[in-house]
Structure 1
Amino acid sequence: MAKYLILIYGDDQQWEAMTPEQRTAHEAAHGEFRAAAGSRVLGGHELELAPTATSLRSDGAGGVTTTDGPFLEAKEAVGGYYLIEAKDLDEVLGLAAKLPEVRAAHSGVEIRPIVQNG
């Protein structure tokens, strides 16, 4: 079995603008995804909005600079993730297609295999 990270991207302003009914439907869709994936979900969390991020970078002189906000300024930001264990990418694609972000105009998902060292 291989491990995959499903990164969920979207527009923070669109997520914040959800009505309570839209938020309830959105959370229900994630519940359906988790139910379909079952024990293949090894972990996952919704993240606070991008402006709450803190980024670290080299200062070019051997030190580290800390800044408020995401590493890159972009319209879409990572809003959450799932760590999945599956037999292959096709299985993950089938599961990830159930996520509501796949069908929303302001969001999407990225699937990345986890490197298996040793």
Structure 2
Amino acid sequence: MKYLMLIYGNEEIWNGQGPEELAKLIDEVDGFNEALRASGELLESEGLIPRARSVRSKGGDVVITDGPYIEAKEFVGSYFVVEVDGEERALEIARSYPGIRHGGGLEMWPLMGRGWASGAE
């Protein structure tokens, strides 16, 4: 099963870290990613450029606005996709993400896959 992990951060917390703390966290995340690559579970990982757009239907028209859609102190700063045997392993990976210990958060979303609607994956 594939899972999308959305990594949330808080600008005040991230900008409040000193250069050594930030470098240490980046090293931890790099190690985390490398371990998942070595196990074959990490499929993709990317940071996001803070320039989201919201595309919605409003009154029959498609409206594009600067995003994210809602106001929040936290923002989605990156993501990664893993393929694992089940939800327990995905949760284990999510709990071990280094950024969580530094005031970040993570949302875990199961991905449908091509055969999802028919029950096959």
CA contact (8 A) 1:33 1:95 kept: no
**Which structure 2 residue ranges, 5 or more long, are not aligned?**
116-121
- 1:21-40 deviation line (CA, Å, top 9, x unaligned): 22211211111211221221
Q: How far has the Cα of 1:69 moved from its partner?
A: 2.9
CA contact (8 A) 1:40 1:86 kept: yes
Give the TM-score normalised by structure 1: 0.83
Instruction: Determine what percentage of the aligned residue pairs are the same residue.
Output: 36
- Counterparts of 1:58 and 1:17 in 2: how far apart (Å)? 38
Match of 2:90 among 89, 92, 101: 92
Q: Supply the RMSD in Å over aligned alpha carbons.
A: 1.6
Partner residue, 1:41: 42
Number of residues of Structure 1 aligned to a counterpart in Structure 2: 113
SS in 2 for 1:22: helix
**Which structure 1 residue ranges, 5 or more long, are not aligned?**
none
1:31/1:79 CA distance change after superposition, 3 Å: same
Partner residue, 2:2: 3
